[in-house]
Amino acid sequence: MNEARKQDFILITLLGVAHGLSHYFHLIIPPLFPWIMPEFGTSFAQMGAVMTVFFICSSLGQATSGVLVDKFGAKVCLYGGVTLLMIAGFLFSIAQSYWWFYPVAACAGLGNSVFHPTDYSIMNRCITNERLPFAFSIHSVVGNIGWALAPIFMVAVATYTGSWRLAAATAGIMALVVLVVLLFHNALFDRALAQGNGLTQEEKQNDAKGDAGFAFLKLLVVWLCFLFFFCNSFALGILQNFAPSIFNATYHVGLEIATGGLTAYMIGSIIGVLSGAYIAKAFKRSDHVIAASMSVSAVMAILLAWQGLGPWCVLPLMGIMGLGVGVATPSRDLLIRGACMKFLGSHSFGRVYGFTYCGMDVGQTLAPLVAGPLLDAGFFSLALVLVGLFQTGALLTALGVGQQKEKPA
């Protein structure tokens, strides 16, 4: 293994683990509700408010941390984010009252907010172009693994030790271990950032272009990227929150199949993300890849809403829908990279990735508020139509980004 490949491999691994940790912290509190609520006499609504604080702080912090990444450097902000997660984990373990959970959630949300702008800034600067699609792919998959492991591990520790506080403390210890590992590779980060293997000579010469604070918000291409994330995550938010209920009502299937539809989506998405790296490398027009794959997902949503194929279709159509969304993921991140370099230069990576990824938080926050009343009114199929419409919106915004990139400078 040559030196450049070895460096890429280590960086992809380190950033993937850090990203997995951030997703893990999304779900350290909810699995422990059965232990926390009786001890503090809280309701589901009260604990739900705690999680709302987490996502608000994460969303607002993400845009802010993007500016800090460009100003102070991605490495420093990455260490800061992991440190905040560690503090949140230990604070969680010594909670004295219900109100204690609010600063815990705020601290964890702010810690979580740094990972997209920091990780993507480092990957775009340091990972060689031929391996960049695979870096994006692995980064996304490891994040999903963090989501999957958190409920299992937190419940297992609380069950077998009889202490939810010990389970919370393990999250803090996990963050501490990740921080130590990152600090151990501090020299590697410095060397990689100085080399800038992810930038061509022309890009390095234009490296200072567009370093102008919040001027990037004036660009249409940035808002199109934001809208892409908003539309994509809005559709995902409907499925994550309501897919089992929708399929139970529309197809009259049992809970196993209804819940299995969401599992099929997630499995399809992971397969799509992994295969999407090869597709992103083979096809240079990222917007066309996204449009093609997202159009497949949108058609699957409309077919599910139609209900003409019968209950057997739930699992395969959901799997194909997830596959389409997954295939788009590496091309999505390459599309944003191209927009940064076309209009702003590499000093904008933190701000642009931070701001556009805010669209993901906003979409997932609003989706239940819109879809919930539809389901209460009995419009279950309409919720699936909304999924298809927002996935169509995502592909249209991706094409808009591509058109902006193709315009003469």
At 91, list the tokens.
């604070």
Query: How is residue 95 annotated by DSSP?
Result: -
| DSSP character string of 173-204 | HHHHHHHHHHHHTHHHHHHHHHHTTTS-HHHH
Task: Specify the CATH architecture of the domain 3-198.
Answer: Up-down Bundle (1.20)
| DSSP character string of 330-341 | HHHHHHHHHHHH
126 touches 196 (CB < 8 A): yes
At 370, list the tokens.
């819109």
Classify 215-406 by CATH class: mainly alpha
Q: Give residues with Cβ within 8 angstroms of 129, minimum separation 6.
A: 198, 200
Distance CA 294, CA 369 (A): 24
46 touches 102 (CB < 8 A): no
Distance CA 244, CA 125 (A): 41
pLDDT reported for residue 207:
61
59 touches 361 (CB < 8 A): yes
146 touches 22 (CB < 8 A): yes
At 58, list the tokens.
């994460």
Report pTM: 0.87
Residue at token pair 């969680």: 92
Residue 268: name the closest of 304, 314, 222 by CA: 314
CA dist 223 → 188, 218, 349, 391 (Å): 34, 9, 15, 17
Q: Hey, do 3-198 and 215-406 end up sharing a CATH topology, with the first three levels equal?
A: yes
Residue ranges per structural domain of the chain: 3-198, 215-406
pLDDT reported for residue 396:
94
SS3 13: helix
CA dist 49 → 91, 105, 240, 309 (Å): 18, 10, 19, 40
Distance CA 179, CA 87 (A): 12
Residue 92: name the closest of 79, 103, 78 by CA: 103
- Collect the ranges in the chain with pLDDT lower than 50: none
